[in-house]
Structure 1
Amino acid sequence: MSAAGRTTAVAARPASPASDRPEPPVRGRASRRRRTAMLLFIVPALVFYAVLVIAPSLQSIQISLTDWDGVNPAYGYVGLGNYEEILGSERFWNAVRNTMLLGLGSALVINAISLAVALLLDRLRHLQGLFRTAVYLPALVSGFIAATIWKYILNFNFGVVNTTLQDLGLESWALDWLGDSDLVVWVLLFIICFTLGGNTTLIYLANLQSVPPEMIEAARIDGASGRQVFRYVTWPMLAGSVTVNLTLALIAGWTIFDQVMVLTAGGPGFVSETMAFFIYKVGFGEYRAGYGSAAAVVLFLVVLVSTVLANRYMRGREIQA
């Protein structure tokens, strides 16, 4: 049959009825039902989160504009008076300085030490699990318990540190570690760095073990030294974990509370107060809920802005790497 004949035959063939057409796949409907089921499971958690977290957070903005004492149901609106008082308070700016020092300092020190420890653990060939457990153990202890232990260790009269120094004949080195105004913030920084590095180390270690060994081997064959291998191969591959660890460390540093509460209670005087402890102290200890809420709003803005800027910078570094 010629081509023209085949074309005529095909054109003359009757169209199939609608009943013979294949039905649309049911995959789309099943997918929609699955998404609906997932949303139904999520809704209760979202409701609880909205009621217990989002609503009180929004209400704190309203309370920050009042003179409420936290107990009396009656209160009056003072506008931005609480914010003006906060910005003019030397005590508040001292808490800001301490928070900056502890937050930024702990983030940098923890990440530097954790990365060094992770590099050492990555090179181990024996007892790696034992050393991983030893590094991670401090992270399992709550900040309150760890601070209580350190409080007894650093006690001026019977603490292990001062007792040991006195037994060694170094009485002049025995200091009031938690009562010296010039020393207490640095002691807090040391304790925070000691207790918050376990998670950071494991994240770095997991990232190190995902670096393709072929790349490292190729760099060594090309004559790269160990420092060059780290600088040009390992370090760029760690960009993602550096972003995560720095962000988490910054957030933890801005909201330090447990260690200050247990070790110094903000003392001596107000020397070692952080922003989180300042909020607690004025809101619940001094019965100035409106003033404390205003400080909490300021802390929220500080955490938000610093986290966004740090993330933007680190994400840019990831792209360049």
Structure 2
Amino acid sequence: MSETHTVEKAPVRISGTPTAQSDPVRGGSQRFRRQRAAMFGFIAPALLVYLVMVIAPSLQSIQISLTDWDGVNDAYNYVGLSNYEDILGSERFWNAVKNTLLLGLGSAVIVNVISLAVALLLDRLHHWQGFFRTIVYLPALVSGFIAATIWKYILNFNFGAVNTSLRDLGVPTWAHDWLGDSDIVVSVLLFLLCFTLGGNTTLIYLANLQSVPQELVEAARIDGASGRQVFRFVTWPMLAGAVTVNLTLAMIAGWTIFDQIMVLTSGGPGFISETMAFFIYKVGFGEYRAGYGSAAAVVLFIVVLVSTVVANRYMRSREIQA
């Protein structure tokens, strides 16, 4: 009589989706989604505050720009695009635009040229580098309001250090009302703005100069290139990214200059030294024309956005990736 032997077989999986433990690709995807959800949870509170405090008021300013709201009363009427028509036909507004362009473009060019020259000098120093870097960066640590207050006393016509020194040197005719002379006040503001922005710009250039591969510099010198040629064909292309960053920051700072104008001149004499940012503040809060000021703010936003995008695109096209 024969015996029957039964062989047990393991269950065979015919179909179905592999689990996360057996599929490393799916397991990694799930971990990535959990990490992304955790990161979003961390930034969600800050994002909510930014939306409520910045984005929402900015969008509301577009609505207000279409009204005649005075900024105080609850009642207002929609006036369509009349605020924008009044702005574009205002000589005072175009003067503010001219000053803004002068301060924005002028400071961007002057600050970058001087800062690059100072960075080149600091890069060649072998001693006291830390000390001189600190001296160059110190003005950037002072807020625009504090720096403007100091300069207001220095440039005072009666007891300011500048005019007092000129009188003591025997040239009293050189003394000027630096902040009250309509012919030179914008130029004085341009100088003060450049003085404030120079520290950050210089350090950015210095950091990029120190990242230039020395092998390329030495190879160029071995091939007989002069110092000027080394800078033009080796160093300068490597600084393209720094130039883009510094020009963008300087232009934005020039477009939105406010605190220096508020402290030094309050837009005077008359409306000569008003910028777009100060013009918005003055008409919106000082003259109780919130709708008109909001329209000017929208125009300023468009100007800053377009100029920044165009400048960045042009500079990026000239960059050489190291």
Bin the TM-score by the shorter chain: over 0.9
Match of 2:104 in 1: 103
After superposition, give the CA deviation of every residue in 1:249-277 in whole Å (9 maximum; x if it has no partner).
11111000011000000000000000000
Deviation at 1:15, TM superposition (A): 11
- Paired with 1:15 and 1:209, the residues of 2 have a C-alpha distance of 67
Match of 1:299 in 2: 300
Equivalent residues in 2 for 1:200-279 (5 A)?
A: 200-279=201-280
- 1:185 matched to 2:199? The reply is no
After superposition, give the CA deviation of every residue in 1:84-132 in whole Å (9 maximum; x if it has no partner).
0000000000000000100000000000011011111111111111111
Deviation at 1:32, TM superposition (A): 1.4
Deviation at 1:30, TM superposition (A): 1.7
Equivalent residues in 2 for 1:107-126 (5 A)?
A: 107-126=108-127
Match of 2:199 in 1: 198
After superposition, give the CA deviation of every residue in 1:169-227 in whole Å (9 maximum; x if it has no partner).
00110011000000100000000001111111111111000000010011001000000
Match of 2:63 in 1: 62
- Paired with 1:250 and 1:161, the residues of 2 have a C-alpha distance of 29
Match of 2:6 in 1: none
Q: Give aligned-pair identity as a percent.
A: 80
Could you tell me which runs of 5 or more consecutive residues in structure 1 were left unpaired when the two chains were aligned: 1-13
Deviation at 1:292, TM superposition (A): 0.2
What is the aligned-residue RMSD (CA, Å)? 1.6
Match of 2:94 in 1: 93
Could you tell me which runs of 5 or more consecutive residues in structure 2 were left unpaired when the two chains were aligned: 1-8
**Structure 1 runs (4+) greater than 3 angstroms displaced:** 14-19
After superposition, give the CA deviation of every residue in 1:269-306 in whole Å (9 maximum; x if it has no partner).
00000000000000000000000000000000000000
- 1:75 matched to 2:91? The reply is no
Deviation at 1:18, TM superposition (A): 3.7
- Paired with 1:15 and 1:222, the residues of 2 have a C-alpha distance of 75
Aligned CA distance change for structure 1 residues 238 and 15 (closer, same or farther; 3 Å)? farther
The one-letter amino acid paired with 1:239 is A
Q: How many residues align?
A: 307
134-143 vs 27-36, greater mean Cα deviation: 27-36
Q: TM-score normalised to the size of structure 1? A: 0.93
Aligned CA distance change for structure 1 residues 15 and 303 (closer, same or farther; 3 Å)? farther
The one-letter amino acid paired with 2:83 is N
Do the aligned residues in 1 keep the contact of 2:238 with 2:321 (CA within 8 Å)?
A: no
- Paired with 1:293 and 1:320, the residues of 2 have a C-alpha distance of 41
SS at match of 2:272: coil
Match of 2:23 in 1: 24
- Paired with 2:320 and 2:118, the residues of 1 have a C-alpha distance of 26
- Paired with 1:170 and 1:16, the residues of 2 have a C-alpha distance of 105
- 1:49 matched to 2:50? The reply is yes
Do the aligned residues in 1 keep the contact of 2:238 with 2:320 (CA within 8 Å)?
A: no
- Paired with 1:168 and 1:15, the residues of 2 have a C-alpha distance of 105
Match of 2:160 in 1: 159
Q: TM-score normalised to the size of structure 2? A: 0.93
Match of 2:315 in 1: 314
- Paired with 1:16 and 1:141, the residues of 2 have a C-alpha distance of 76
- Paired with 1:254 and 1:32, the residues of 2 have a C-alpha distance of 41
- 1:174 matched to 2:157? The reply is no
The one-letter amino acid paired with 2:126 is R
- Paired with 1:143 and 1:137, the residues of 2 have a C-alpha distance of 13
SS at match of 2:319: helix
The one-letter amino acid paired with 2:23 is P
